[in-house]
Every structure is written in structure tokens, then in C-alpha cells.
Amino acid sequence: MADPAISTENLVKTYGRTRGLAGLDLRVEPGEVYGFLGPNGAGKTTTIRLLLDLIRPTGGRIQVLGLDPRRDGVALRRRLGYLAGDFVIDGRQTARELLTYLGNLRGGVSRTRVEELAARLDLDLGRRIKGLSKGNRQKVGIVQAFMHDPELLVLDEPTSGLDPFLQQEFLAMVREARAAGRTVFMSSHVMSEVQQTADRVGIIRDGRLVTVARVDELREQAVRRIEIHFEDPVTEAEFTALPGVSEVAVVGTTLRCRLDGRADALVKAAAGHTVVGLLSEEPDLEELFFGYYSREEVTGAAA
């Protein structure tokens, strides 16, 4: 198997008496989009800053692209795209001037690539940075992370400050990076945006990884509301006993129910009739996400 894109072993970081990370074991595979989820104060930024060697660990091991961030920082920086959670820029220069400067430092950045990314994010490169809104500064941060087409993108809360339309555009850029074989590690405290793009999510809480799951598996476990429209009337009795199906209500030719997990049994039962239409809401994985949290609390209390 290929080297992981990121791996940490028993990573510990304390800030004086405050605990930042309490033994984090992380493994991000090459080519995947990994969503690093957790509430404020969980340790996401601490982890990311350790990966970039911006701060030093109290204990444990870190490898990024097979290298040691502490020894091989210079080599790594060329291969990484990084967006800080508190990305701050200021100054009289224009966004174009700043990005050209950063691009020249890094090398391998084409002007057209910068123009393309800026156009997608609706960022006016000709404006002075000091006059840009918070959202527009965040766009400059995103462009500088993506512009050299790095092997690994490490993004700390990248969508904060972006309006919903641009969040979608950003998520499309993440999917394209994956399609081009890149690895993306992005943190967030909102499940809904991560579930649209991530292959896996790791949930961090109090400096520890609480769980790691594949998003498609989470989706399979999730509860959703289903509505099926048939050509002819159906009966509730045909559907009530199916695995995962509950709260069945039939009104004429319309069936509404709750589906927990796989849709197979319900779909096969429905297929015994002529199905005119089917609506399935996209499950919100937030509920499952908080489910993991409370389960952890129960075990924590018992220990």
C-alpha cells in the first residue's frame, strides 16, 4: 500500500496547562478527501499547525507525504497547499500583486491558473487587499492554496466567510482536485458541507479522534424521509413490516415513511407496483455525528 498522505501517532500538544491534543492517531490516504470535523476548541487548528511545523509537538510522531515536517519543511512546502484558519492579509498591494509574489516564491504557478481560480470565486484581482471584505480575503487564501496545484491541500475551515454559492464552487474545486489525484485534508465544524465532498470524516473532540467513518457508510446508516407516488392506491400493510421502514402513512396513491439505513427492501416492495415518482431527502449526517458524541459521553461516564 502507498504511504499515507498524512499520518500521526500518539500526537500530543499541551499549551502550558491547557491540553491541545491528547494522543491523536490520524491516517489520511493518498487521493482521498478527508473531512476533519469537530466543535470549536476540539484541536483541529492545533493538528493542522503541527502538520505544517508551525508549532512543535509535545510528543508523538508526524509524517506528511512520507516526510518529517520538521526536517523536510522546505521540500514539503512546495508540495503542499495550506489555508490557515485565521488567514489574515492586509496591505496596499492588489490581490494580483500578492498572488504573483507568492507564486514566484513557490515557483510553478501560471498566471492563467490564478486568473481562472479568481474568476471561479468571483474575486477581483485588481482591488487592493486593504479594501477587500473578509469573504474576499478568504478567496485570496483559497487561490493561494490551490494555485500551484499541490499534491496535498491542508485547509483549516476553508469555507468560513464564503456565501453559499461560493461554498458550492469551492466544494467543486475540492472534487476536481481529488479527480486529479490530489489529497485534501479539510477541517470544519459543520457536517453539511463536509458530507458533500469528503470520502471519510474523522471526528475530533477534546484533542482525540472519536471516530472515523466513510461518508457513504454514514449515509447508509442515516435516517431519511421517503415519499413514493404510485399509479394505483397501495396499502400500508405491505410496507410496515419491511426492515428499516417505519412511520408508514398512505394517502391514496402516495406513501410516506421513514427509512433507517438501506433502501433495498423498500425499493423492492415498491417495485411490485407502478412507481410514478420517488422523493428521498438527502439525510443530514449532523444527527449521526452528534450521536457519536453522546455515545462517547456514555462510555466516558462509565469508565
Ligand X SMILES: Nc1ncnc2c1ncn2[C@@H]1O[C@H](COP(=O)(O)OP(=O)(O)O)[C@@H](O)[C@H]1O
Q: What are the residues binding ligand X (CB under 6 A)?
A: 15, 18, 20, 38, 40-46
From the list ligand X, Mg ion, none, partner contacted by residue 18 (C-beta under 5 to 8 A by kind): ligand X
Q: Which is nearer to Mg ion, 94 or 187 (CB)?
A: 187
Q: Which is nearer to ligand X, 45 or 167 (CB)?
A: 45
CB of 163 to Mg ion, least distance (A): 21
From the list ligand X, Mg ion, none, partner contacted by residue 202 (C-beta under 5 to 8 A by kind): none
Using a 10 angstrom Cβ sphere, with 0-12 exposed, 13-18 middle and 19 or more buried, the burial of residue 294 is exposed
* Residue 160 amino acid letter: S
CB of 135 to Mg ion, least distance (A): 18
CB of 42 to Mg ion, least distance (A): 8
CB of 209 to ligand X, least distance (A): 12
From the list ligand X, Mg ion, none, partner contacted by residue 43 (C-beta under 5 to 8 A by kind): ligand X
CA distances from 16 to 13, 19, 58, 172 (A): 9, 8, 10, 40
Reduce the DSSP state of residue 297 to 3 states and report it. Answer: helix
DSSP assignments along 10-76, one per residue:
EEEEEETTEEEEEEEEEEE-TT-EEEEE--TTSSHHHHHHHHTTSS--SEEEEEETTB-TTTSHHHH
Spatial separation of the C-alpha atoms in residues 29 and 260, rounded to whole Å: 30
Q: Which is nearer to Mg ion, 31 or 85 (CB)?
A: 85
What residue ranges bind Mg ion (CB under 5 A)? Answer: 44-45, 85
Q: Which is nearer to Mg ion, 23 or 85 (CB)?
A: 85
From the list ligand X, Mg ion, none, partner contacted by residue 98 (C-beta under 5 to 8 A by kind): none
CB of 124 to ligand X, least distance (A): 30
Q: Which is nearer to ligand X, 32 or 157 (CB)?
A: 157
From the list ligand X, Mg ion, none, partner contacted by residue 139 (C-beta under 5 to 8 A by kind): none
* Residue 291 amino acid letter: G
CB of 36 to Mg ion, least distance (A): 10
Spatial separation of the C-alpha atoms in residues 190 and 83, rounded to whole Å: 17
CB of 156 to ligand X, least distance (A): 7
Which residue is at the shortest CB distance from Mg ion? 45
Q: Which is nearer to Mg ion, 151 or 157 (CB)?
A: 157
CB pairs under 8 A, 24+ apart, for 188-192?
188/35, 188/36, 188/37, 188/157, 188/158, 188/159, 189/37, 189/38, 189/39, 189/40, 189/44, 189/157, 191/37, 191/284, 191/285, 191/286, 191/289, 192/284, 192/285, 192/286
From the list ligand X, Mg ion, none, partner contacted by residue 42 (C-beta under 5 to 8 A by kind): ligand X
Q: Which is nearer to ligand X, 22 or 67 (CB)?
A: 22
